[in-house]
Structure 1
Amino acid sequence: MDTAAVLHLGGQALFLTAKLCAPVLITSLVVGFTVSLLQSVTQIQEVTLSFVPKALAAALALVVCGHWMISELVSFTHDLFASVPTLVGG
């Protein structure tokens, strides 16, 4: 296995990680921004008011996108195991 193959697999793994994290992170970002804007307008500075909606939105994003996330991960793993003979040179 040469360095180009290792770098290619590492790049694919990092891209998959970013793709799988995106729904939860973007949802949390949007909800956090909305709650922060609401807190700024109403001048309510409560910590739980920003935490609870983000936690609920992240959980909802996992429920909605969970099947897609698992299928992407299984597909990557299946492709990785299928390419093992070519990677080891056999």
Structure 2
Amino acid sequence: MNEADALDIAQYAVWTVLTASGPAVAVAMFVGVGIAFIQALTQVQEITLTFVPKIVSILLAVAISAPFVGAQIASFTNVMFQRIETGF
């Protein structure tokens, strides 16, 4: 294995992590911005108001996107096993 192979594996691993975590992070961001906007409009600054909707929405997003995340991780695993089998 040379430097190009190691860099390729690291790049693919980082891309897999970003695509697998993307749905949950995007939902958390949009829900957080929406709640912050509502709090700014109503001037209600209750700290627990931000956590409960975010947690529920992230759990729903993870449950809905689980097949996509699993497919991304399985694809990465298959590529790594194929590279190990062929000797990089």
| Of 26-35 and 67-76, the range deviating more from structure 2 | 67-76
Which residue of the partner structure matches residue 67 of structure 1? 67
Which residue of the partner structure matches residue 56 of structure 1? 56
Tell me how far 1:86 sits from its aligned partner: 2.7
TM norm structure 1: 0.93
5+ residue gaps in structure 1?
none
Which residue of the partner structure matches residue 15 of structure 2? 15
Which residue of the partner structure matches residue 44 of structure 1? 44
Aligned 8 A contact 2:19 2:72 in 1: no
- For the residues of structure 2 that align with 1:86 and 1:72, how far apart are their CA atoms? 23
TM norm structure 2: 0.95
Paired positions, count: 87
Report % sequence identity: 28
Q: Larger relative CO (CA 8 A, sep 6+): 1 or 2?
A: 2
Across the aligned residues of Structure 1 and Structure 2, the Cα RMSD in angstroms comes to 0.8
Runs of 4+ residues deviating >4 angstroms: none
Residue aligned with 1:83, SS: helix
Equivalent AA in structure 2 for residue 86 of structure 1:
G
Equivalent AA in structure 1 for residue 22 of structure 2:
A
Which residue of the partner structure matches residue 29 of structure 1? 29
- For the residues of structure 1 that align with 2:75 and 2:10, how far apart are their CA atoms? 16
Which residue of the partner structure matches residue 86 of structure 1? 87
* CA offset digits 1:13-61 (Å, max 9, x no partner): 0011111111000100000000000001001011110011111110010
- For the residues of structure 2 that align with 1:64 and 1:75, how far apart are their CA atoms? 19
